[in-house]
Homo-oligomer: A and B are copies of this chain.
């Protein structure tokens, strides 16, 4: 018998392959227009075989998105661990997140017509919120330690900032991408927040 780990690896490899291909197809056609047969053909398996790896189409799609989200998370982790000025860090964090999120939304045609996809992505955002708050908190704590911020309740502050970021995301989700100058909006909000935060 294979050891369980070896076995798991083999299976996971297949899974990964399906995910990779499914990602391409979903990103090309969106959730609704992509059929499991499309994916099955592309991975050269029968449709039924997909169910050996994933419980449902929805499940597969979520797995694909989750993988994307992990990439985003990793990028953000890097930003956070860079040794930069806390304000810059905040700025980079927000910009990185917005940029990647825009891609996500674009990718899955979440916006135009595909209601189901939108809901998934909303769901992901919701689940991610707690992580976000934690990350922001880390930045704030670091800022205080470096004697640049002056904050009494980290939790509340982090929640407040998270909310502000949501505001920045809105125009993205709403679909008028190009029209908004992201960087500019971010700087404006940052300025406002800073004058309430930075030690005088």
Contacts and interface: CB of A to CB of B under 8 A. Distances in A.
> Main SS of chain A's interface residues?
helix
Interface in A61-119: 113
5 contacts: A29-B29, A29-B33, A33-B33, A38-B113, A41-B113
A70 to B, nearest CB: 29
A41 B114 CA distance: 13
Contacts of A29: 29, 33
Indicate how many identical chains form the complex: 2
Contacts of A113: 38, 41
Nearest to A38: B113
Interface in A111-138: 113
A113 B29 CA distance: 14
Contacts of A33: 29, 33
5 closest A-B pairs by CB:
A33-B33, A29-B33, A29-B29, A41-B113, A38-B113
The winner among A29, A33, A38, A113 for most chain B CB atoms within 10 A is: A33
A41 B33 CA distance: 16
A38 B113 CA distance: 9
A29 B29 CA distance: 7
